[in-house]
Structure 1
Amino acid sequence: MTKTFVLALCCLSFFLLFSCKGPAAEKKPYNVLFIAIDDLRPELGVYGNDIIQTPNLDAIGLQGTLFENHYVQVPTCGASRCSILTGLWPRSRQHLQNSAIEQFMSNEPERERPESFVHHFKRNGYYTVGIGKISHSVDGLWYGYEESPEGAKMEMPHSWDEMLFDPGKWETGWNAFFGYADGSNRQGKNKQVKPYEAGEVDDLGYPDGLSTQLAVRKLKELSDKDQPFFMGLGLFKPHLPFTAPKKYWDLYDREDIPLSPFPELPENVHPNSLQESGEFNSYQLGEEKAGLDQKLTDDYARKLRHAYYAAVSYSDALVGKVLETLESEGLADNTIIVVWGDHGWHLGDHRIWGKHTNFEMALRSPLLIKVPGMIPRRIGTEMPVSSIDLYPTLMELTGIPVDFPLDGQSLVPLITAGEDGARAAQAFSYFRNGISMRTQRYRLVKYFREAEPTIELYDHQNDPMETVNVAAEHPEIVAQLMPLLEKGNTGLYADSSN
């Protein structure tokens, strides 16, 4: 080979390299897929449960950043969603109610401050699509459980380019939310229903299957757009009733499903800190009623936990269909995926079947964030984080400025480096006239009520199930932690009424 030929070949290669490459291509903005799963506690394989079958959620956790100790701000659906969407702690007792979004967003004109992080995405060039339960209402409309949605106001009127929901045979959103496989629903049957069902149907036989079908179709449409998108997909299950196609029940041998490790009342705690499982008992054909006076039988408790596991596996399978679509449409490499449980749930723990307490079981939920190109991380129990941290996190990841105050703190340093020296190890939550603060080791709760004790302290190093309030035994620890707890006192209990 002559030197002249080699030189010519090099010149040709140089020309082809730079003529084909052209100007440096601009990096496309990230898309965002936000998956909200109702009443999902950290009962996933990736969180250490070796019996439950959740391969798709586990994959997100293994490929992204998993937060071991993530805490919601309020352990009830609407109020928890209000906090994460606004990035703010609750400021009033109305912010602790399921109607929080309706009260503070539905009737409001568009203002300089966006109503939600979805609204902020929309203002910054994103096409925003909501499917299912993202705010409190299951279809984004404000109407009562037994009312017609016709003419109803949007819960978040300025946030969505599209808000989609297919009620199917249930006809309305709330009927679908409390629906059974035959098209009936809890309110239509005047609560004469069971709190569980193994339906002889396929994945489209329950409303979440229809929502996932909508999400798959919409992702295929969005893949053809040049505009970045934010999609919110809200799955109902495992919210009561614990319904799922029978094939997900069949994944389990019931005898393998563990009972609660602590089904008894905690010590040194007033009953006002607990609750009587009223939501669960509203399913009036259940075999047994739950209450603080006695625990359910082991057989019935295991049956209910089986139902919960089946409902979680159903949601997991639906998430898998969405992940498959992201891959097939070429969206996976440029889409941030967030999986969030809107609060935890007592599965018989402390004799409670439900949320609505300031205990770990009601406040801790999964948070998984997968960012393309980021190495997988597991943020351990030494660093508790909060739902309100998601707003600034998503804005930092997508490069969208925020020129208004938020109570949350970006999780990006934890996602990128696994540590954040500027972050305090504490998370605040609010309910039942109380403020709860979780640190690396302790949970401190201060109640604004007459019923004693009003201070509760749990040592998670020695008592991870929060079985004994040790505040009276360790006043020095309470005194040390109380100034930190007061930083989370937003004044919502200023009147200190019961």
Structure 2
Amino acid sequence: MIYTTRQIICFACLLAFSQIAHSAERPNVILITVDDLNDWIEPLGGHPNAKTPVINQFCKSAIVFRNAVCPAPVCGPSRSAFLSGFMPQHTGVYDNGTNMRDSPLVQENATLPEYFSRHGYYTLSTGKVFHSHRTPSGEDYGHWAFDNYFPDPLWDNPDPTQVTDSQANKINGKAPAPLTFDGKTTKGMLWGPTQDPDFENTKDYSKVRWANQYLSGDEPLQEPFFMAVGIYKPHVPWFVPQRFFDLHPLESVAAPYVNPSDLDDIKRANGQNVFKPMEDYQWVNSYGLERQAARAYLAAISEADLSLGILLDQLEKSKFADNTIVVIMGDHGWHLGEKLRYHKQTLWAEAVLTPLIVRTPAIKSAVAESSATGTTFCDNPVNLVDVFPTLIDLCGLEKKPNLDGSSFSGMLSDPAADTGSVAVTVSAKGTSVLSKRWHYIENRSKGHAELLSQEIYDRENDPYEEKNLIDSSDPEVRAAIATIRRHAPHEFAKSVEVKRKGKPGPKQLDDTIKRKRAHLQ
């Protein structure tokens, strides 16, 4: 009998999960977060000019989730959610200014790395994994959650003669003709080549180099270990060595598809549009920089891809190669002009969806033994908050039943099975519920008190989410709305008060925090 790749993976994973329960040897874990990464990677096909050979090759021995959503469409709340295991509506962490340590729920529960440390894992990390916050005693990087943490600056210095900057109103280092609106009102679009052209001198390279010291054996690394590595690109500013811009010649880069009237069918009760074009979109559009912006984002992704390659190559050369779970994921998506905006912080698909790629030793072994060369996808919606309970499952740790997420380990063993799952995203001003076919959105006032508008899109027939069907009389649409809206949360914890303001201080570990949290499970 000839088996398909999915069947081979299914058999191998079921056997592996059974063996974990009876084995003292637990798998190691490497969790890699890639900041602001949307679907512009080769396996997901979000942009025709994406060049991510490392990710593409890795995905051939992994499960790729095509409908993974972020818990929140901005860095701090999303990371707080998947690292704590609790959604924003329960922690009260809705924006980047809020430190998750100030949430009563987080104060009573161990975070993902802390939980693994309590259960015998050595934990180490570098880069942006937790969101950072300024405190009177110095920067809080989330270093308190790890046994070993290496701090390092996030972005690289640009060549000032070639910088494009919406706030300074410069293109390639020069001031263009004045705009009809003040460029300083933009959130900030920045890109350009770095002053130092060497990739080996970039900040992301220094982070993977630090991690590789442990994988290579140059630094002692006890097993089992939980390693978290934060790759900062393609977060803005898109300052990358010129070689990565050269990978994407401007004349060959396609500008993202944009519908100029895309916001006109999202109305308040009084008939007014809920949304308007973002200033950054107006700035880019005014100067015709759509392809330049797309090129810069693609270049930043290509740099992140090479950084991943340095880390994954060392893993394959190490003694840990065949007993390590690897998770590669974004923290949320990113707009490149779609819905007349750039950046994130929306509930549309561009910001909500983000890559999630999982490889277990069983999946890797099954693919190696088969002759298959393709990528295995799972289309069931999942949430990044599900990573915490899934890793608990895969590593055979004691269950933590109060987590918001659900383990998707069963999807890894049978990725083609339709689970009927939905995935929820919560922002400071609304919620999103995504199923395989439908995407439902509630736009609310700040504090979630007032429902301003609703949206629903048929993703199967409207992949760009251009036609809001909320007022449709079609029985199929009305049934979908009635079913999916039940999953939208309507009770929200009060936003956590920002308590720890202060000037930047020394990069020091805070052992006091570790002692206070040492008892948490």
* TM-score bracket for this pair, using the shorter chain length: 0.7 to 0.9
**Change over 3 Å in CA distance of 1:265–1:357 after alignment to 2:** farther
1:317-332, aligned counterparts within 5 Å?
A: 317-332=306-321
**Alignment match, 1:125:** 120
CA distance in 1, matches of 2:241, 2:143: 34
Shift of 1:465: 0.6
CA distance in 2, matches of 1:462, 1:373: 36
**Change over 3 Å in CA distance of 1:310–1:214 after alignment to 2:** same
**Alignment match, 1:180:** 157
Aligned length: 433
Find the partner of 2:281 among 285, 290, 306.
Answer: 290
Contact 1:205 1:245 in 2 (8 A): no
CA distance in 2, matches of 1:214, 1:427: 35
Find the partner of 1:343 among 332, 349, 362.
Answer: 332
**Change over 3 Å in CA distance of 1:435–1:264 after alignment to 2:** same
Matched, 1:84 2:82: yes
CA distance in 2, matches of 1:306, 1:32: 33
**Change over 3 Å in CA distance of 1:234–1:363 after alignment to 2:** same
**Alignment match, 1:165:** 151
Shift of 1:265: 3.8
CA distance in 2, matches of 1:452, 1:396: 38
Matched, 1:461 2:454: no
1:232-247, aligned counterparts within 5 Å?
A: 232-247=228-243
**Alignment match, 2:197:** 201
Shift of 1:26: 5.8
Q: Which amino acid aligns with 1:460?
A: R
Shift of 1:226: 4.1
What SS does structure 2 have at the residue aligned with 1:47? coil
CA distance in 2, matches of 1:108, 1:81: 13
CA distance in 1, matches of 2:91, 2:85: 17
**Change over 3 Å in CA distance of 1:436–1:417 after alignment to 2:** same
CA distance in 1, matches of 2:274, 2:218: 47
Shift of 1:341: 0.6
Matched, 1:152 2:138: yes
CA distance in 2, matches of 1:441, 1:107: 33
CA distance in 1, matches of 2:34, 2:399: 27
What SS does structure 2 have at the residue aligned with 1:63? coil
1:359-378, aligned counterparts within 5 Å?
A: 359-374=348-363, 375=366, 378=376
1:476-491, aligned counterparts within 5 Å?
A: 476=475, 477-478=477-478, 480-489=480-489, 491=491
TM-score by length of 1: 0.79
- Give CA-to-partner distance per residue, 1:413-440, whole Å, 9 cap, x none: 111122556x432111112521211111
Contact 1:73 1:429 in 2 (8 A): yes
Identity %: 25
CA distance in 2, matches of 1:180, 1:106: 38
Q: Which amino acid aligns with 1:413?
A: G
Shift of 1:201: 1.5
CA distance in 2, matches of 1:246, 1:220: 30
What SS does structure 2 have at the residue aligned with 1:399? coil
CA distance in 2, matches of 1:158, 1:432: 27
**Change over 3 Å in CA distance of 1:335–1:277 after alignment to 2:** farther
**Alignment match, 1:135:** 130
Q: Which amino acid aligns with 1:85?
A: L
Q: Runs of 5+ in structure 2 lacking a partner?
A: 1-21, 171-188, 368-374, 496-521
What SS does structure 1 have at the residue aligned with 2:351? helix
CA distance in 1, matches of 2:134, 2:52: 34
CA distance in 2, matches of 1:26, 1:226: 18
CA distance in 2, matches of 1:453, 1:108: 30
Find the partner of 1:30 among 27, 41, 44.
Answer: 27
CA distance in 2, matches of 1:275, 1:158: 41
Contact 1:273 1:357 in 2 (8 A): no
> CA RMSD, aligned part only?
3.2
**Alignment match, 1:18:** none
Matched, 1:74 2:51: no
**Change over 3 Å in CA distance of 1:364–1:40 after alignment to 2:** same
Matched, 1:264 2:250: no
**Alignment match, 1:384:** 381
Shift of 1:204: 3.2
What SS does structure 2 have at the residue aligned with 1:409? coil
TM-score by length of 2: 0.75
Matched, 1:430 2:426: yes
Contact 1:129 1:230 in 2 (8 A): yes
What SS does structure 2 have at the residue aligned with 1:268? coil
- Give CA-to-partner distance per residue, 1:301-342, whole Å, 9 cap, x none: 101110101100001001100011112222211111101111
CA distance in 2, matches of 1:198, 1:27: 49
Deviates more, 1:335-344 or 1:397-406: 397-406
**Change over 3 Å in CA distance of 1:401–1:192 after alignment to 2:** farther
Instruction: Give the structure, 1 or 2, with the largest relative contact order (CA under 8 Å, sep 6 or more).
Output: 2
Find the partner of 2:394 among 376, 386, 397.
Answer: 397
CA distance in 1, matches of 2:211, 2:229: 7
Shift of 1:488: 3.5
CA distance in 1, matches of 2:456, 2:56: 32
